Amino acid sequence: MTTYQTLQTVKDAAEETPSVNRYSDRDIYQTINKNDVNYPVLCMALQSMTVRENYITYTFQLYAAERLTNGEENRPYALAHLMDMAEEFLHTLSNKEGIVEVEFDRQYNQAEYQTMDLCVCIYGIINVNVENDYFVC
C-alpha cells in the first residue's frame, strides 16, 4: 500500500464513521478555528513513516474535538463521546483492506482550545501498519 493509498484509506474510514461530522488531515487548531465548524471533528496528522521489509508503519497524531456549551455542562458527555468516536473510527480503520494492524494504547490526553468556539479535545498517537508494496518482487 502506497502512502497516498494509506492516507486515502484513513480518510475513507473517517468518512464511513457515522459519529465523525468532519475529517481533516490538517492541524487541529487550523481546522476548528473557524465559524462554520460542524462538530465533532476528527483530525489525523501524519507524523512519520517507518519502512520495514514486510510492512510500513505510519505514525499519526489523532485529534478529536467537540464544542463545549457556555457553562461547560456538556464536558463529561463531550469527552465520552469523543472517546467513543475515536474507538469507532479505529475499529473502522482496522477493518479496511490493506491495513495489517492499528496500534493505539487507548491513553487519551485532554486539551482545551479557545478558538471561535470553546472546545475540548482528546489526542493520542496511532500507529497504522500496512502491507509494504514498495519492495515487492
Specify the range with the lowest mean pLDDT, choosing from 2-11, 21-30, 43-52, 121-130. 21-30
**Mean pLDDT within 116-137:** 80
* C-alpha neighbours within 13 Å on the C-beta side of residue 63: 25
Reported as a single tens digit per residue, the pLDDT across 62-111 is 888 888 888 888 888 998 999 999 999 999 999 999 999 998 866 666 66
Structure-model confidence comparison of residues 37 and 112, the more confident one = 37
Cell 513513516: give the residue.
Answer: 49
Q: Which domains, from first to last, does the chain contain?
A: 3-131 (3.30.2000.30)
Whether pLDDT at 137 is above 70:
no
DSSP symbols for 12-44: HHHHH-TT-SEEESS-HHHHHSSSS--SSEEEE
Q: How far is CA 50 from the centre of its chain?
A: 19
User: Over the stretch 45-56, which tens digit does the pLDDT of each residue have?
Assistant: 999 999 988 899
- Specify the pTM: 0.84
Over the range 113-122, which residues count as b (16 or more CB within 10 Å of their CB) and which as e?
bebebebbbb
